[in-house]
Amino acid sequence: MQRSEQGGNSRLSRRHLLTAGLAAGSSLALPSGSSRADTISQQMPWAPGEADNPTPVSGGGYQYLTHDEVAWLDAAVSRLIPKDELGPGAEELGVTLFIDRQLAGAYGRAERWYMGGPWGKGTDTQGYQSRMTPAQLYRVGIKAVDAYCRSEFGGKPFAELDAEQQDEVLGALEHGKAKLQQIDAKTFFKQLLLNTQEGYFADPLYGGNKDMAAWKMIGFPGARYDYRDFVSKHGQPYPLPPVSIYGRSEWIRKG
């Protein structure tokens, strides 16, 4: 270690520290005469399905939502995107299952979000601003909306209202006219609408958009790898069926 000429205190040279670290790292990575880097030449170091192989969401039981919360969401998403002559609605395409799986996972726990304060009221352009995680927001929000409905509609929860009444409640949430306990009505509605839209149009891999029905309805081709034959065909319908991230069933190798 070098000594400073002023005051005699020991001072570690930054250059010495960096070069010493590199030397140590090199000696650990490549012991003398025993190791060498693997060179890939004239071979393909990749195989399909070996990395990031997606696992489709399967049906069955819900992982986060309770029975009553499932009924609430089925009713709500059916009013946000109802079935009509053009195609199925959000409930038919499994949007509630999509939301359940999102709330049960990293998204529901806000694992990749900054969730520290301060907690001032944000603007509409600032995105998600609640101190609750999405999973907490749904749990508190559904309970709060049911309490509001019982006070306004003779003791009935949201799922037991008729379609016109449900639309009235959703409108009150959207415009902030419904006063909820512990939660802001507009914040909850905005999150509900966003997740409903995501579940309706997302890849079926995630639980919604069953049978790619939403994509078929709007003519979206999905995750096809090659569009070159159709790039110049402006204004013409895309003639091929859509493809999910995990491919089409007839492409999957059997046995």
76 in Cβ contact with 146 (< 8 Å)? no
Q: Is the residue at 154 inside a domain?
A: yes
Asked whether the beta carbons of 217 and 160 are under 8 A apart, the reply is no
* CA dihedral over 140, 146, 148, 151, signed as positive or negative: negative
Lowest mean pLDDT among 35-49, 84-98, 120-134, 201-215: 35-49
Spatial distance between the Cα atoms of 119 and 135, rounded to a whole number of angstroms? 18
Residue 240 inside a domain? The answer is no
> Residue 115 domain-assigned?
yes
Does 144 fall in a domain? yes
> Domains in the chain: how many in total?
1
Confidence of residue 48 (pLDDT cuts 50, 70, 90): low
pLDDT of residue 118: 82
Q: What is the pLDDT of residue 61?
A: 86
For 144, the domain range is 67-218
pLDDT band at 10 (very low <50, low <70, confident <90, very high): very low
Q: What are φ and ψ of residue 84, in 5° steps? A: -155, -165
- Those residues whose C-beta lies under 8 Å from the C-beta of residue 2, and which sit 6 or more positions away, are 10, 11, 12, 13, 16
201 close to 215: Cβ distance less than 8 angstroms: yes
Selected residue with higher pLDDT from 15 and 90: 90
Q: Is the pLDDT of residue 216 over 70?
A: yes
Instruction: Say what the pLDDT of residue 254 is.
Output: 53
The pLDDT-based confidence of 47 (bands split at 50, 70, 90) is low
| Confidence label for 20 from pLDDT (cuts 50, 70 and 90) | very low
Confidence of residue 134 (pLDDT cuts 50, 70, 90): very high
Q: What percent of the chain has pLDDT over 90?
A: 56
| Of the listed ranges 15-29, 86-100, 159-173, 230-244, the one predicted with least confidence | 15-29
pLDDT given for residue 5 in this prediction: 42
Report how far residue 75's alpha carbon sits from residue 91's, in angstroms, rounded to the nearest whole number: 8
Task: Please report the pLDDT score of residue 51 as a whole number.
Answer: 57
Comparing 211 with 15, the larger pLDDT belongs to 211
Q: What is the pLDDT of residues 50-65, one digit of tens each?
A: 556 667 887 778 999 9
Q: Is 30 contained in some domain?
A: no
User: 71 exposed, middle or buried (CB, 10 Å; 0-12, 13-18, 19+)?
Assistant: middle
Residue 13: inside a domain, yes or no?
A: no
| Residues making up the chain, counted from first to last | 255
In a domain, 205, yes or no: yes
* Maximum Cα interatomic distance, the chain, rounded to a whole number of Å: 87
- Is residue 66's pLDDT more than 70? yes
In this structure, is residue 227 part of a structural domain? no
Q: Is residue 9 scored above 50 in pLDDT?
A: no
